[in-house]
């Protein structure tokens, strides 16, 4: 199973998550994308093989940019990490049709358990956390 | 004037209906064979057809789909002297208004005639529906057109809808289309995949939580039910909803309010629910894995999506549209498609349905590279193999290893004949093994009840008891 971490500039929380995934879900490959252009290029390749994408959002503008790419998200599980819990931001985030929403001030254990569940579904077995 | 067609070869019955319809003030025509009936309804439309099943040139039930398929689509009342449960079930499935067994009393036929005509009059008086936005639903087969008709009905109400169908049949697409064609279209559509979230997170995701409700709940958070207020909530894989969450969800539907985890406050919500599953929820109810009261709530309407193998006519159209979309996405030239390529696609059974087809097309585009036309060689090997109508190593296969029903001495049968023979033998054995119990037969065979009846009908085999 291959997942991409997409983060907009200005924060390095994705490194914390990457380390957690490496440690707790060693069968999942990750790599990080830093620009929307790069993300679009990857999703526009046939057979890109990405099952899930963890998207770090820092502001509403990031979501607006990503919404333009939603037609490319077919069959990709999107996990969204929002900077705050305001209703308008969450409403915007839901336009990306995420399978789960978390927040930057969480410790990512929720995301690890969601990724483990997705892995379990894809491979018929879970990992011991 | 109301026009009624009586199709019956019994002169007494024809005379009876002639007098009755005359008294009721309706015009009528008589036909004593299927052929005569066809000639009549090709020339003119009827509002109601009284159809006998035992006709000199075959079973009248065969006419029912034809009649319902005409532009006039009359109401049909079956009149039969040889009724049985399976016949009645098939008649209702094909859209018959009523099923009346001979001998009958005057009131037993006059009331259904009046009611059928009343229904037809009211239906015709109903204002024209707004054209349906199909979203991304592709196909013109009868199976998909029937689903679109059901979709339109679902969109015009606010009732909960349960969408069932195999994986990859487009349950979320239909859920979105229901929302987009409903009065809630300008409000949010939120899909929650119950199978993608761990049990511990599912409830807080749906209902939200108060600060300190559980370890890690450092801040108060709204759930998706609140976010979906005014719009549509789709619960995908609803069969995966844990029992505890089922109870809370039922409460939400009954009370039309949400209580976040760890809280006492009630937040009023106005949502329309569309649930989807590929599991047999009735069976899960029997096994106490799904609440019956919740199933009643979520299945006010049911939309059964057909597998792609039951709408093979749509494969070509789906392939053309999807290839075009994928070519656009990958910024490559749209490719020409050879008839041989389509032939292989159309002969495959697509157990993974449309999703499998799209995945194959994606593979095909990658494997074709710059080739301007798609040929079978661009398909994955296993798909090309499935088109082979012969066993290339048959001549070296010992007799004992020949497939059932094949003998080297006999003339080698065409694939369709062989397949039909096996299917018929299988169904006969299935009836034996299930002791005539249709539910057991469906469970053993893994096919739906309607498909099973369709197969029995195709092979002229007797059905099951009630």
In tens, the pLDDT along B402-426 reads 666 666 555 677 777 777 788 888 8
Beta-sheet strand order (sheet of B189-193): B189-193, B232-236, B272-277, B161-164, B301-304
Element (H, E) at A38: helix A36-43
* pLDDT for B184: 96
Backbone angles phi, psi at A116, to 5 degrees: -65, -40
* pLDDT for B161: 97
Lowest mean pLDDT of A7-16, B140-149, B208-217, B372-381, name the range: A7-16
* pLDDT for A125: 52
* pLDDT for A124: 59
Rounded to whole angstroms, the Cα distance separating B134 from B172 reads: 13
The chain A residues in contact with chain B (CB within 8 A) are: 44-47, 71-72, 75, 77, 85, 87, 90-91, 94, 97, 99-101, 103, 105-107, 109-110, 113-114, 116-118, 121
Domain formed by B412-458, architecture: Orthogonal Bundle (1.10)
CATH number of the structural domain spanning residue A86: 3.40.50.2300
Average pLDDT over residues A8-18: 73
By C-alpha distance, which of B5, B51, B1, B7 is closest to B26? B1
In a domain, A68, yes or no: yes
Of B198, B205, B222, the CB nearest to A117: B198
In a domain, A104, yes or no: yes
Residue B166 pLDDT > 90: yes
Lowest mean pLDDT of A16-25, A118-127, B146-155, B379-388, name the range: A118-127
Backbone angles phi, psi at A28, to 5 degrees: -95, 125
Residue B325 pLDDT > 60: yes
In a domain, A114, yes or no: yes
Average pLDDT over residues B351-373: 91
- Tokens standing for B99? 């099923």
In a domain, A128, yes or no: no
Q: Would you say the C-alpha torsion B339, B343, B346, B352 has a positive or negative sign?
A: negative
Rounded to whole angstroms, the Cα distance separating A66 from A62 reads: 6
Of A47, A85, A106, the CB nearest to B363: A47
Lowest mean pLDDT of A9-13, A16-20, B364-368, name the range: A9-13
* pLDDT for A51: 83
Interface size A-B, in CB pairs within 8 Å, comes to 64
Tens digit of pLDDT for each residue in B264-285? Answer: 899 999 999 999 999 999 999 9
Provide the percentage of residues in chain B whose pLDDT is more than 90: 52
Tens digit of pLDDT for each residue in B75-130? Answer: 999 988 877 777 788 888 888 899 888 888 887 888 999 999 999 888 887 665 66
Banded model confidence at residue B400, pLDDT cuts 50, 70, 90: low
Residue B397 pLDDT > 60: no
Which chain A residue has its CA at the smallest distance from B176's CA? A97
**Using CB atoms within 10 A of its CB, is residue B181 exposed (0-12), middle (13-18) or buried (19+)?**
buried
Banded model confidence at residue A126, pLDDT cuts 50, 70, 90: very low
Residue B201 pLDDT > 60: yes
Question: Testing the interface with A: which of B217, B242, B329 to mutate, by most A Cβ within 10 A?
Answer: B329
Q: How far is Cα of residue A45 from the mean position of the Cα atoms in its chain?
A: 19
Other C-beta atoms closer than 10 Å to the C-beta of B78 total 25
Residues of chain B with CATH 1.10.10: 412-458
Tens digit of pLDDT for each residue in B372-381? Answer: 999 999 998 8
> CB A90 to CB B362 under 8 A?
no
Element (H, E) at A123: helix A109-123
In a domain, A129, yes or no: no
Name the more confident of A75 and B37: B37
Residue B51 pLDDT > 50: yes
Q: Would you put residue B89 in left (φ > 0), alpha (ψ -120 to 50) or beta?
A: alpha
Tens digit of pLDDT for each residue in A28-58? Answer: 888 888 888 888 888 888 777 788 899 988 8
Residue A40: domain span: 2-123
Residues of chain B with CATH 1.10.8.60: 310-385
Residue burial A89-126, b: 16+ Cβ < 10 Å; e: rest: bbebbbebbbbbbbbeeeebebbbbbbbbbbebeeeee
Q: pTM value?
A: 0.70
Residues of chain B with CATH 3.40.50.300: 142-306
CATH number of B142-306: 3.40.50.300
Chain B residues whose beta carbon lies within 8 Å of the beta carbon of residue A101? 205
> CB A46 to CB B227 under 8 A?
no
Of A85, A91, A94, the CB nearest to B221: A85
Collapse the DSSP code of A67 into the 3-class scheme (helix H, G, I; strand E, B; otherwise coil) and give the result. helix
Banded model confidence at residue A5, pLDDT cuts 50, 70, 90: low
* pLDDT for B203: 93
CA distance A8 to chain B (A): 23
How many domains does chain A divide into?
1
Tens digit of pLDDT for each residue in B309-324? Answer: 999 999 999 999 999 9
Of B201, B330, B366, the CB nearest to A114: B201
* pLDDT for B72: 83
Residue A127 pLDDT > 60: no
In a domain, A97, yes or no: yes
Rounded to whole angstroms, the Cα distance separating B101 from A67 reads: 60
Quickly tell me which residue has 């799209």 as its tokens.
B358
Domain formed by B310-385, architecture: Orthogonal Bundle (1.10)
Which chain B residue has its CA at the smallest distance from A96's CA? B190
CA distance B235 to chain A (A): 11
* pLDDT for B401: 58
Residue B66 pLDDT > 70: yes
With helix as H, strand as E and coil as C, how does chain B read? CCEEEEECCCHHHHHHHHHHHHHHCCEEEEECCHHHHHHHHHHCCCCEEEEECEECCEEHHHHHHHHHHCCCCCEEEEEECCCCHHHHHHHHHCCCCEEEECCCCHHHHHHHHHHHHHHHHHHHHCCCCCCCCCCCCCCCCHHHHHHHHHHHHHHCCCCCEEEECCCCCCHHHHHHHHHHCCCCCCCCEEEEECCCCCHHHHHHHHHEECCCCCCCCCCCEECHHHHCCCCEEEEECHHHCCHHHHHHHHHHHHHCEECCECCCCCEECCCEEEEEECCCHHHHHHCCCCCHHHHHHHCCEEEECCCHHHHHHHHHHHHHHHHHHHHHHCCCCCCEECHHHHHHHHHCCCCCHHHHHHHHHHHHHHHHCCCCEECHHHCCHHHHHCCCCCCCCHHHCCHHHCCCCCCCCCCCCCHHHHHHHHHHHHHHHHHHHCCCCHHHHHHHHCCCHHHHHHHHHHCCCCCCCC
The chain B residues in contact with chain A (CB within 8 A) are: 188, 190-191, 193, 195-198, 200-201, 205, 216, 218-222, 224, 227, 326, 329-331, 355, 362-363, 365-366
Banded model confidence at residue A98, pLDDT cuts 50, 70, 90: very high
CATH superfamily, with its number, for domain B3-125: Response regulator (3.40.50.2300)
């Amino acid at each position: 199973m291959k997942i991409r971490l997409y983060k907009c500039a200005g924060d390095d929380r994705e490194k914390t998550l990457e380390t957690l995934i490496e440690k707790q879900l060693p069968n999942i490959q990750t790599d990080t994308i830093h620009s929307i252009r790069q993300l679009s290029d990857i999703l526009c390749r046939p057979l890109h093989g990405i099952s899930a994408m963890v998207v770090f959002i820092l502001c509403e503008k990031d979501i607006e940019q990503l919404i333009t790419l939603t037609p490319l998200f077919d069959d990709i599980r999107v996990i969204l990490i929002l900077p705050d819990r305001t209703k308008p931001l969450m409403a915007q985030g839901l336009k990306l049709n995420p399978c789960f929403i978390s927040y930057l001030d969480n410790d990512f254990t929720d995301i690890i358990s969601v990724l483990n569940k997705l892995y379990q579904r894809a491979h018929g077995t879970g990992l011991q956390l | 004037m109301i026009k009624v067609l009586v199709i019956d070869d019994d002169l007494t019955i024809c005379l009876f209906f002639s007098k009755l319809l005359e008294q009721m003030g309706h015009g009528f025509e008589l036909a004593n064979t299927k052929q005569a009936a066809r000639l009549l309804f090709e020339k003119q439309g009827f509002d109601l057809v009284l159809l006998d099943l035992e006709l000199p040139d075959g079973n009248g039930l065969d006419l029912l789909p034809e009649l319902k398929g005409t532009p006039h689509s009359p109401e049909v009342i079956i009149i039969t002297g040889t009724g049985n449960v399976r016949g009645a079930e098939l008649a209702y499935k094909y859209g018959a208004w009523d099923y009346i067994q001979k001998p009958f009393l005057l009131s037993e036929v006059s009331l259904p005639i009046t009611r059928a005509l009343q229904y037809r009059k009211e239906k015709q008086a109903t204002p024209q529906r707004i054209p349906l936005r199909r979203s991304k639903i592709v196909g013109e087969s009868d199976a998909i057109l029937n689903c679109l008709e059901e979709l339109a009905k679902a969109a015009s109400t606010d009732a909960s809808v349960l969408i069932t169908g195999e994986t990859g049949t487009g349950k979320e697409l239909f859920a979105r289309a229901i929302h987009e064609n409903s009065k809630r279209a300008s409000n949010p559509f939120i899909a929650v995949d119950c199978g993608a979230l761990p049990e511990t997170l599912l409830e807080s995701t749906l209902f939200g939580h108060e600060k300190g409700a559980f370890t890690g709940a450092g801040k108060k958070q709204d759930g998706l039910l609140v976010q979906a207020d005014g719009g549509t909530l789709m619960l995908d894989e609803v069969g995966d909803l844990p029992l505890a969450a089922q109870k809370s969800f039922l409460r939400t539907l009954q009370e039309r309010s949400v209580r976040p985890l760890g809280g006492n406050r009630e937040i009023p919500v106005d949502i329309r629910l569309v649930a989807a599953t590929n599991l047999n929820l009735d069976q899960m109810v029997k096994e106490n894995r799904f609440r019956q009261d919740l199933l009643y709530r979520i299945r006010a309407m049911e939309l059964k999506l057909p597998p792609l193998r039951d709408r093979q006519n749509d494969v070509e159209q789906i392939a053309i549209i999807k290839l075009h979309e994928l070519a656009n996405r990958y910024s490559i030239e749209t490719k020409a498609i050879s008839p041989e390529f389509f032939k292989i696609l159309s002969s495959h059974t697509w157990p993974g349905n449309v999703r499998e087809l799209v995945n194959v097309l994606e593979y095909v585009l990658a494997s074709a590279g710059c080739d301007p036309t798609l040929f079978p060689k661009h398909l994955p090997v296993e798909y090309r193999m499935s088109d082979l109508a012969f066993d290339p190593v048959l001549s070296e296969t010992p007799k004992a290893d020949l497939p059932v029903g094949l003998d080297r001495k006999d003339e080698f049968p065409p694939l369709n004949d062989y397949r039909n023979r096996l299917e018929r033998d299988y169904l006969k054995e299935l009836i034996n093994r299930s002791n005539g119990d249709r539910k057991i037969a469906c469970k053993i065979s893994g096919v739906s009840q309607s498909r099973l009846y369709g197969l029995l009908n195709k092979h002229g085999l007797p059905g099951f008891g009630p």
